[in-house]
Amino acid sequence: MHAASVPIPPPHPAVLDAPDATAGPPRSSASSDAGATPRVGAVLASLGAMAAVGVAATLGSGSLEATVCGSAVLVAPTLGALVLTAPALLAVHQFLGLAAAPDRMVAALSRAVVAGGRVAAGLVPVALFFAIGSRLWWLALAGASFGVATVMAAVALHELRTAETTALVMPARFALLLLGWTVLVVLIGLRIAASVVAPLLTEVSP
């Protein structure tokens, strides 16, 4: 005699729809957008904030020419340095055969500009206080320029490094590239800033 076969019931629909236990957690939208390129509007708003802090600081000079120059003290060096050095950075990066894609490098530089704009926006009330309450508007302008430039440089270096590698030690070629690019940006930025600030020196001198 053969034993009677017992029918096996089909699996429950809930079991079929259950997620795979071996799959990792779903990525959040915040993590997937962490390396995204900032929108053009955010970059333009950041440049506007840089112009605003320059205008706010130079209002204390009482000169329309100084105020116009003040609006470009941060914007001109930022745009000039990036426009003149970013193509060389991308070209040398690709020539050296490094890992980061060009769009990630551009996104890193854009995030640095946005970070500098946020700092500039926060310094507008401080610059206005110095401009209206004292004759130290030039000190407010210098301090704001230094603060924004420092933040942009730090964010740019961090973002570029993160775009290239998350390892504790970065490749030597990439480290030398960052060093050379940083020196070039500083020299070009200072040269442009000196040209923009030159008309303001007559307002500071007695």
Q: Please tell me the pTM assigned to this model.
A: 0.78
- Closest of 120, 116, 183, 126 to residue 150, by C-alpha: 116
Tell me the pLDDT tens digit for each residue of 87-130: 999 999 999 999 899 999 999 999 999 999 999 999 999 999 88
Contact (CB, 8 A) for 49 and 121: yes
Residue 106 forms part of a structural domain: yes
Q: Does residue 33 register a pLDDT over 80? A: no
Distance of CA 42 to the CA centre of its chain: 11
Query: Taking a C-beta distance cutoff of 8 angstroms, is the pair 60, 137 a contact?
Result: yes
What's the CA gap between 206 and 183, in Å, rounded?
A: 34
Token pair of 105 as six digits: 């490098």
Number of domains the chain contains: 1
Q: Tokens 């960052």 map to which residue?
A: 178
Structural domain contains residue 184: yes
- Domain housing 101: 39-204
CB within 8 A of 73, min separation 6: which ones?
54, 141, 145, 193, 196, 197, 200
